[in-house]
Amino acid sequence: MSSRELILKTIRRNRPAIDAPLPTPIPFTTAPVTMALIEQFRTALAIYGGKTLELPAGMSVQALIDELYPERPALCSATREIVGSHPIPAVNRPQELATIEIGVTRAAFGVAETGSVFLSETELQVNALGYLVQHLIILLDPAVMLETLQEAYARPEFRTAGYAVLMTGPSATADIEGVLIRGAQGVRSLTVILCPRAG
Amino acid sequence: MSRVDHAVLAKDFLALEANAEFHDRRLWELRIKRDQQMAMIPEWQELRDRASAIKEHTLSNLDRYLEEFEANAQRNGVNVHWARDAAEHNAIVHRVLSERGVRTLVKSKSMLTEECEMRPYLEERGITVIETDLGERIQQLDDEPPSHIVIPAVHKLRGDVSKVFARTIGSEPGNEDIHYLAKSQRDDTRPYFLNAEAGMTGGNFIVAETGAVVTVTNEGNADLSANVPKLYIASVGIEKLVPRLADLAIFIRLLSRSAIGSPISQYTSHFRKPREGGEMHVVLVDNGRSDRLGMADFWTSLKCIRCGACMNTCPVYRRSGGLSYRAVYAGPIGAIIDPTFDLRKYSELPFASTMNGSCTEVCPVKINIHEQIYTWRRVIAEQRQLPFVKREAMRIAGRIFASPKLYRLALKLQRLAANGLPRFAIYTMLNPWGHHREVPAPPAQTFNAWYRANRKARDEQS
């Protein structure tokens, strides 16, 4: 008998004979995006050391990024809204991102409850863009701000993406004496720029 | 296997006074942070009820959901393997790696691979295994298992880490700056991410309806392990299933809040398909779980989502350190899981509890941990797995408590003893309670004597 069959057979013999129905999912309503919801997102993300910036009126995202990083470090962009100094590497060569300072992409949506943004291979092109670069900039349309995780998990992206991440702040660790270090193995900073998709 | 003497091993940990003091304080801090998060969620108790109900439903239909997960994962292009025990798990992982000529494996923390003792197995066969989580890496370099399921090196202080790193990865001897130590490990680990031919993670959940493996991490190392090398392997216990994404949402809301008092962890990652040009394998591991499912008193321990809240709140765990359990799973959850692996070896662990019930109170999936601890004590006593002193003490206590006359006589004798006996007679090997504590002075009068003198006549009149 294969291990698969053996395991399933043992489960069938041993599974508790109880009447335990699956609870119906908690219903949720989609709240309109208000300033309060955006503030909730900003506050939640700040817990994790992530910054949320507004795009000043009349300023382009490109100009804001240039202002944030005037020394023009090596930058890879997975969104057509921003032109990088280096092209995104081929999908089978993620290692090339190790020398890149800044990664830029646009999130599919945000979650106010936790200050998270949703990214998948569609947004990242090369998944490692979210991790191997030193600093990550994420554009987020405030119109796609969801209120709760419950609502987020109802989004179709979780059923189609090969890789999907709810990302909340830069990488961090508190493994030595509980002292918080931002920049563990992944990116050392994360900045969300609130702006509608250009073009 | 010889019996683990938890109390003796705990004494070794307590001898490191600074470590023991920090350990207790740090874990209690996490418990307080967890309480603060709970207070911010008005529906917290409802979430716990639902999480428990979802797990009980899934476990009582586990075969069906495993088949659903497998079918969906295969449809997504994932190779699904089944391992009935640790040996088969290790052999499968080794076969996948060796067939592709893998020499270096980067991995994120996984209690399951600890349970299977996979690292030594692969290393004996010439594969370099690099733990990439900071705490787990500290433990690997110090040749110690993790002492906590969420914070592997919580029993160590900066000075300990500094010594380990200076000895193993060439950090500056004597430099105990925590930022420096963390950066040393980051810099040392990075080339492994870039050069390893394979990456591996565990899984906090797997989702039947989408075939996804879900990891909840904060360092970015799981996502690097899975997203940089071409080959990605995830090993997951069969009990980690949830039926639907809507169910997953409940667990994600509970997990990090319960574990570290944080609304979410930095990376909640969902792996469904191999990357373009890559390969993804999932190993579904039983290793005693399907047997545990048939244990009427203990099967609900399979609901566990490994948050560690029961460890953080447990006064015994906080004051004894995880390594004193000599088991993959320490603390209250370990006390009820470990005996299912080896009853004799772990027969002392259910006694490492004050029975205060705090573990049950904080458990996000409502496992009746302290009741299972009590039930294990009965099982162990019935199977005569108690050490001699405890067995004899219990036998005599049983007779004394069963007879009012004997009980009263014993109280009198005890009062005489505590007042009159010299210290060496009280603080003996037969009285482990007195090893770290003073036996309190007995009251001048027993309750019974007080009752006879003050109330008995009146009560009998009325």
What 3-state class would DSSP assign to B129?
Answer: strand
**Using CB atoms within 10 A of its CB, is residue B301 exposed (0-12), middle (13-18) or buried (19+)?**
buried
**Interchain proximity A6–B262, CB inside 8 Å:** no
Please check whether residue B312 is in contact with residue B257, taking contact to mean a CB–CB distance below 8 angstroms.
Answer: no
Q: Are residues B73 and B209 in the same domain?
A: yes
Residue A121 within a domain: yes
Residues in chain B: 462
Chain B contact set for A178 (CB, 8 A)? 26, 29
Strand A181-182 with A172-173, pairing: antiparallel
What is the number of other CB atoms lying within 10 angstroms of the CB of residue A15?
Answer: 18
Closest-CA distance, B345 to chain A, in angstroms, reads 25
Identify the bridge partners of residue B198 per DSSP, sorted by sequence position: B105, B231
DSSP-derived secondary structure letter, A133: S
Pairwise CA distance, residues B453 & B130, whole Å: 72
Complete DSSP assignment for A4-25? HHHHHHHHHHHS-----PPPPP
Q: Check if B82 contacts A (Cβ < 8 Å).
A: yes
Residues 90-129 of B with CB under 8 A from A: none
Averaged over B335-343, what is the pLDDT? 96
Helix axes B245-260, B44-60, angle to 10 degrees: 120
Query: What is the chain B residue with the closest CA to A127?
Result: B227
Report the alpha-carbon angle B363-B247-B367, nearest 5.
20
Residue B244 within a domain: yes
How sure is the predictor about B409, in pLDDT bands with cuts at 50, 70 and 90?
A: confident
**Interchain proximity A11–B290, CB inside 8 Å:** yes
Return the number of CB contacts < 8 Å for A and B: 247
How sure is the predictor about B398, in pLDDT bands with cuts at 50, 70 and 90?
A: confident
Locate the DSSP E strands across B15-114: 79-83, 104-107
Residue A25 within a domain: no
- Of the partner residues A3, A127, A172, the one whose CB lies closest to the CB of residue B266: A172
Averaged over B231-242, what is the pLDDT? 98
Query: What is the chain A residue with the closest CA to B77?
Result: A162
Which residue in A185, A188, A190 has the most chain B C-beta atoms within 10 A of its own C-beta, making it the best mutation to test that interface? A185
- Of the partner residues A21, A127, A166, the one whose CB lies closest to the CB of residue B268: A166
Residue B104 within a domain: yes
Please report, to the nearest 10 degrees, the dihedral formed by the alpha carbons of residues B128, B131, B136, B137 taken in order: 70
DSSP-derived secondary structure letter, B353: -
The one-letter amino acid at A118:
F
Q: Please give the pLDDT value at position B435.
A: 64
Residue B292 within a domain: no
**Interchain proximity B179–A181, CB inside 8 Å:** yes
Q: Please give the pLDDT value at position B431.
A: 64
**Interchain proximity A25–B82, CB inside 8 Å:** no
Phi first, then psi, for residue B257 (nearest 5°) are -65, -40
Please check whether residue B324 is in contact with residue B275, taking contact to mean a CB–CB distance below 8 angstroms.
Answer: no
Averaged over B89-111, what is the pLDDT? 98
Please check whether residue A53 is in contact with residue A64, taking contact to mean a CB–CB distance below 8 angstroms.
Answer: yes
Residues with Cβ within 8 Å of B305's Cβ and at least 6 positions away in sequence, in order, are B51, B204, B205, B251, B254, B255, B364, B365
Please check whether residue B373 is in contact with residue B413, taking contact to mean a CB–CB distance below 8 angstroms.
Answer: no
Chain B contact set for A136 (CB, 8 A)? none
**Interchain proximity A165–B269, CB inside 8 Å:** yes
Query: What is the chain B residue with the closest CA to A178?
Result: B26
Q: Please give the pLDDT value at position B383.
A: 84
**Interchain proximity B223–A127, CB inside 8 Å:** yes
- Please give the mean pLDDT across all residues of chain B: 93
Q: Residue B268 is encoded by which pair of tokens?
A: 């909640």
Q: Residue B262 is encoded by which pair of tokens?
A: 């944080």
Task: Report ipTM (2 d.p.).
Answer: 0.98
Instruction: Look at chain A and report how many structural domains it folds into.
Output: 1
The residue ranges of chain A whose pLDDT is under 50 are none
Residues with Cβ within 8 Å of B167's Cβ and at least 6 positions away in sequence, in order, are B141
Cα dihedral B362, B366, B371, B373 sign: negative
Locate the DSSP E strands across B40-139: 79-83, 104-107, 128-131
Domain of residue B441, residue span = 388-461
Q: Check if B157 contacts A (Cβ < 8 Å).
A: yes
Q: Are residues B269 and B416 in the same domain?
A: no
Please check whether residue A72 is in contact with residue A85, taking contact to mean a CB–CB distance below 8 angstroms.
Answer: yes
Q: Are residues B82 and B229 in the same domain?
A: yes
Cα dihedral A64, A70, A76, A82 sign: positive
Q: Please give the pLDDT value at position A199.
A: 62
Residue B349 within a domain: no
Looking at B287, B308, B340, the residue that finishes a domain is B287
Find tokens 């496992």 and name the residue. B367
Inform me whether the pLDDT recorded for B386 exceeds 90: no
Q: Point out the least confidently predicted range of B181-190, B332-341, B391-400.
A: B391-400
Pairwise CA distance, residues B78 & B90, whole Å: 19
Averaged over B51-75, what is the pLDDT? 98
What 3-state class would DSSP assign to B13?
Answer: helix
Looking at B252, B271, B287, the residue that finishes a domain is B287
Closest CA to B440 of B415, B411, B413: B415
Find tokens 């004193």 and name the residue. B324
Q: Please give the pLDDT value at position B19.
A: 98
How sure is the predictor about B434, in pLDDT bands with cuts at 50, 70 and 90?
A: low
Pairwise CA distance, residues B204 & B240, whole Å: 7
Query: What is the chain B residue with the closest CA to A172?
Result: B219
CATH number at residue A89: 3.40.50.10420
Looking at B253, B287, B321, the residue that finishes a domain is B287
How sure is the predictor about B419, in pLDDT bands with cuts at 50, 70 and 90?
A: low
Residue B308 within a domain: no
Q: Check if B63 contacts A (Cβ < 8 Å).
A: yes
**Interchain proximity B247–A184, CB inside 8 Å:** no
Residue A16 within a domain: no
Residue B19 within a domain: no
Residues with Cβ within 8 Å of A158's Cβ and at least 6 positions away in sequence, in order, are A164, B210, B212, B245, B270
Q: Please give the pLDDT value at position B389.
A: 67
Q: Please give the pLDDT value at position A86.
A: 97
Residues 264-293 of B with CB under 8 A from A: 264-278, 284, 286, 290-291, 293
Inform me whether the pLDDT recorded for B2 exceeds 90: no
Inform me whether the pLDDT recorded for B444 exceeds 80: no
How sure is the predictor about B423, in pLDDT bands with cuts at 50, 70 and 90?
A: low
Residues with Cβ within 8 Å of B177's Cβ and at least 6 positions away in sequence, in order, are B158
Find tokens 């109170």 and name the residue. B361
Averaged over B84-98, what is the pLDDT? 98
Instruction: Look at chain B and report how many structural domains it folds into.
Output: 2
Find tokens 């997953």 and name the residue. B248
What is the number of other CB atoms lying within 10 angstroms of the CB of residue B116?
Answer: 23
Closest CA to A161 of B230, B212, B67: B212
Query: What is the chain B residue with the closest CA to A28?
Result: B246
Pairwise CA distance, residues A62 & A40, whole Å: 26
Find tokens 């899981």 and name the residue. B337
Q: Please give the pLDDT value at position B448.
A: 83
Closest CA to B223 of A146, A156, A133: A133
Identify the bridge partners of residue B363 per DSSP, sorted by sequence position: none
Closest CA to B36 of B260, B222, B299: B260
Residue A169 within a domain: yes
Phi-psi region of B110 (alpha: psi -120 to 50; beta: other; left: phi over 0): beta
Inform me whether the pLDDT recorded for B462 exceeds 80: no
Q: Please give the pLDDT value at position B384.
A: 75
CATH number at residue B279: 3.40.50.10420
Chain A contact set for B82 (CB, 8 A)? 2-4, 7
Closest CA to B436 of B8, B2, B3, B4: B8
Which residue in B218, B252, B272 has the most chain A C-beta atoms within 10 A of its own C-beta, making it the best mutation to test that interface? B218
Angstrom distances, CA of residue A125 to CA of B16, B212, B307, B430: 50, 19, 32, 67
Convert the pLDDT of each residue in B247-270 to its tens digit.
999 999 999 999 999 999 999 999
Closest-CA distance, A65 to chain B, in angstroms, reads 23
Please report, to the nearest 10 degrees, the dihedral formed by the alpha carbons of residues B233, B238, B244, B249 taken in order: -80
Pairwise CA distance, residues B383 & B385, whole Å: 6
Residue B348 within a domain: no
In chain B, the percentage of residues whose pLDDT exceeds 90 is 82
Find tokens 């507004």 and name the residue. A54
Please check whether residue B222 is in contact with residue B134, taking contact to mean a CB–CB distance below 8 angstroms.
Answer: no
Chain B contact set for A16 (CB, 8 A)? 56, 59-60, 293, 296, 299
- Of the partner residues B134, B243, B252, the one whose CB lies closest to the CB of residue A184: B134
Domain of residue A186, residue span = 31-194
Residue B368 within a domain: no
Residue A122 within a domain: yes
**Interchain proximity A14–B293, CB inside 8 Å:** yes
Convert the pLDDT of each residue in A56-113 to its tens digit.
999 999 999 999 999 999 999 999 999 999 999 999 999 999 999 999 999 999 999 9
